[in-house]
Amino acid sequence: MTNDILFFRLYILIILVFLLIFSFVLSKQLFIIVINQLKLIFLSSKLQKKNNFNEDFYCSLLEIYLINDNIVISVALSEFVLELNNDLVTKDLIYASLAYSYYSNSFYSIAEYYYLKILSFAPSNYKAISNLAYLYYNLGYKTKANYLFVRARNLEPTLSDII
């Protein structure tokens, strides 16, 4: 009889610990969802009031979608801003966000395309060069990566501390 009560209490204790851990994970996810929804509401009201679309607004929207791992919407947003064909958001920022979106989801050839696109009109962009070098390094192209690391270090001397 006492063994049954002991096992029952142990069973209840295990279930309570599991539910406690589950509730922390769930509450964290709910908190992230609520914060992102509030950011979207704030950004949409800001867009409706001022009726403008600038680089900060683009970066805020992109951050929300990238945090949620929503590559389709982040790519669609970047492509939409690219199609607007205005100078509110710099092209290298849009291409860099597209490259990051594709790279973080293992579409390496597309990410390489966008990094090379940045370098086609801004050949001294050391961030794009170093990101492309990291991409090549992670893919195993050590020679290309070393060349680009040296090129990035020559353009930005503070990178010599990192590399």
- All structural domains of the chain with their residue ranges: 1-49, 52-122, 124-163
Do the beta carbons of residue 126 and residue 148 sit within 8 Å? no
- Nearest CA to 112 out of 128, 124, 125 is that of 128
Supply the pLDDT for residue 30: 84
| Number of other CB atoms surrounding residue 150 within 10 Å | 14
Question: Each residue of 52-81: pLDDT tens digit?
Answer: 566 777 777 777 777 777 778 888 878 877
Do the beta carbons of residue 144 and residue 163 sit within 8 Å? no
Is the whole model's pTM more than 0.75, yes or no?
no
DSSP 138: H
Three-class secondary structure of residue 1 per DSSP: coil
CATH class for the region spanning 52-122:
mainly alpha
